[in-house]
Every structure is written in structure tokens, then in C-alpha cells.
Amino acid sequence: MSRDPYAGVRHALTIIPLIQSHQGMTLDELSERTGLSEERIREELTSLVMMCGVPPYSPNNYVSLWIENGRVYIRFADQFERPVRLVVAEALALLMALRRLDVREHPYRDAVRGLREKIRAALSPEAKSELERAERTFRVGAKAAGGRITQLRAAMSHCRELRITYWSAHRAATSERTIQPYGMTEFGGDWYVVAHDSRRNKVITFRVDRIREAELLDSEYEIPLDFDVQKWSDASDFTPSPGRQSARVLFRGMGARYARDELPRRDVTELADGAVLARVPVRSDVLFLEWLLQYGTDAEVLEPPELREKVAEACRRILDAYDQPSPTA
């Protein structure tokens, strides 16, 4: 990043060997592989790499680099045969990112395990033990995807439809539908499949761990050529967008402290006695109730009246459930 004063040196130590082992690679490819823009590459090549040489600094002692028809060539850089080894922070970052793909039955799980060994093997012995320690100090990673990844995987590689039983959280209901999986993505720590849904006749996301049952069908489908799962990254692709409805909620005691911490400041009004009044968007009644009831008696919906009634009704249903005989009795 721009704040790193050694970015140029870091880049040079990896770009030179990359060009060296792929003489004549296109600038475009170099940019794809390194994730650096062509502009940035050009600038660094001319300002730094071409300034690099060894005594006695006669012309043949300088790294020589030229771009011809969009292709990059390098000479006199034999000493930079390979990139410099990974430092601990880099190896750690790689392992942590890979850990997110290490999900039971994920299509890349075997690859991830192989990679992990190869990355460790590429480290110096000291770095290896340092990394072991560091690995225990970072936790990322998606939750277990559970559900039905095997079938999703089969469906995606053979383009065969799936019939699924799905738990829709925002409606608190189970439904059956036929889907055509296009891609898989992780969002907020959960795995989703992006798929065409026959019921709604559109492409939507399904959280994998909410698929209760799945059956591979014989019917085939095609993934549209322009489909790119990378475009599915917006919160609205995964959660129902807030409706026009909002609730006025009064929070007291400890609940007020948590509400203050959790809700956007502009939606919260401070009241006397440490209480707060908040305007809370309602995405769906179910999601709202689930969220509100966590606050227990510290939260009270003041408005609208229909929502107050829904809270009361939810409590009645829950109390009913408590009246049923205990399964362990």
C-alpha cells in the first residue's frame, strides 16, 4: 500500500524474477498476476528496477528491461533468479485466507490442504516455528457450511438442477424449490450459493447451512456466460433490504448501553435516566422480533401499534411452547 515505504523494493524483488521466468509475458498478464496496475508497474520498472545494477556499473551491469508490442523482457538480472522467500506475516496471511476455503466438502478443500503443506515447506526453519505460533493468534474463517455442499458441487460441475428444502430465516418458514446453482460465495462468515430459483424466477442467494435437504435432478441448465459471482458482494444481495417500516423502540438499563453501541448514532436519542429512544428499520417482522427479544425486558416497542401487538403475540407463542411437556421429563 502507499504507506509502505518499501513497497517498491518488495515489488521489484518479485516482479524481476517473474519476468525472468516468463520472458515476453504481456504487460496485461503481468498486471493480472501481480495485482498491480500497468501504470504502477511501468512507473516502478523505470524508476527503480532500471536503476538497479552492480559495480562497476557499466551498461551491462544494469538490469535491462524493455517492453515491445506490449510484451516485457528482461536482461542482466540473473542474480534475481527467484522471488525472495515468504516472511512470516505473508505466510500467515495466505494460510488465514485459505482457511476460509477449508470447509467440509468445499470444492477446493483438498487443494487448500495441499497448498498449506507447500507453503510451510517453502519457509525457512525459523520462520516455520514462528508461523506455528502466529497461526494460533489469528482466527478468521467462515463457519462450517454444513448443509449440502456435496450436492451443490455436483450440481455446479454437471449443471444439473437441485431440488432443495430451504429454511427461509426472514419468513421463518420451510419451502421446497428447484434451483440452478451458479456460484458459491462467503458473506459475513457464512457460505451462500448464488442460484436461479424456479419459484421466484430470478437469481438469488441461499445460505448453505439452511438447506435442509437436497436432491440432484436429471434436468440440466446453463450458467449464463456473463455470470460473475464476484459481483454478488453487496449486503442487499444477502439480507432483505430495510422496508419503509421502522419502529420506535425504548431501551432501558443495560439494554440502552448495548443499543447505543449497536445502532447508528443518528437513529438514537438520549433520554433522561440513561434510557435511549431509537428508530429501528424493520427488514422483516421475524428478523425484527428475533433481534428485539434478545434485549429482553430492556426493550419496548412504542410504535407502530401493529408491531407492539406482534411482539406480544410472539411472547404468547413462546409462553405456549413453555407450557408443553418437557421432552426430557
Partner 1 sequence: MGSQGKTGPRRSAAGGPRATGAAPARITKPERLLNLVAFLLSSRTAVPFSLIKGRVAGYDDDASPEALEKRFDRDKAELRALGVPIVYEAMDEHGHDGYRIPREQYFLPEVHLNLEEAAALAVVHRYAMSSPEDPLAAPLRSALRKVVVDSPLSGAAASSVTEQHRLGVRTRKGPPELAANLEVLTDAVVRRQAVKFRYYSVRRGEVGEREIEAYGMGWHGSTWYVVGFDRHREAVRQFKVDRVRGRVKLRAGKPFAVPDDFDVASYVGRPAFQFGGSGAEERVDIELRPEVAFMFSSGLREGWTLRELPSGGALLSVDSDDRHAVLRFVARQLDRARVVSPPDLVEEARAKYSAILDRHTGTPSEAPGDKRRSTRRKGGSR
Among positions 45-74, residues that touch partner 1 (CB under 8 A) are 46-59, 62-63
Q: Is residue 140 close enough to count as binding partner 1 by CB under 8 A?
A: yes
* Nearest Cα to Cα of residue 236 among 281, 204, 198, 191: 204
Please list, in sequence order, all residues whose beta carbon lies within 8 angstroms of the beta carbon of residue 143, skipping any fewer than 6 positions away.
189, 190, 191, 209
Interacting span for partner 1 (CB under 8 A) from 14-22, 65-73, 198-206, 214-222: 14-22
Interacting span for partner 1 (CB under 8 A) from 66-74, 196-204, 214-222, 296-304: 296-304
C-alpha to C-alpha distance for 237 and 194, rounded to whole angstroms = 9
Q: Is residue 203 close enough to count as binding partner 1 by CB under 8 A?
A: no
Q: Is residue 197 close enough to count as binding partner 1 by CB under 8 A?
A: no
C-alpha to C-alpha distance for 217 and 233, rounded to whole angstroms = 29
Nearest approach in angstroms of CB 115 to partner 1 is 5
Using left for φ > 0, alpha for ψ between -120 and 50, and beta otherwise, residue 242 falls in beta
Interface pattern 76-115 for partner 1 (x via CB under 8 A): --xxxxxxxxxxxxxxxxx-xxx-xx--x--xx-xxx-xx
Q: Is residue 311 close enough to count as binding partner 1 by CB under 8 A?
A: yes
Interacting span for partner 1 (CB under 8 A) from 65-73, 196-204, 214-222, 290-298: 290-298
Nearest approach in angstroms of CB 175 to partner 1 is 11
On whether the CB atoms of residues 76 and 52 are closer than 8 A, the answer is no
C-alpha to C-alpha distance for 57 and 195, rounded to whole angstroms = 60
- Angle formed at CA 223 by CA 221 and CA 227, multiple of 5 degrees: 160
Q: Is residue 247 close enough to count as binding partner 1 by CB under 8 A?
A: no
Q: Is residue 286 close enough to count as binding partner 1 by CB under 8 A?
A: yes
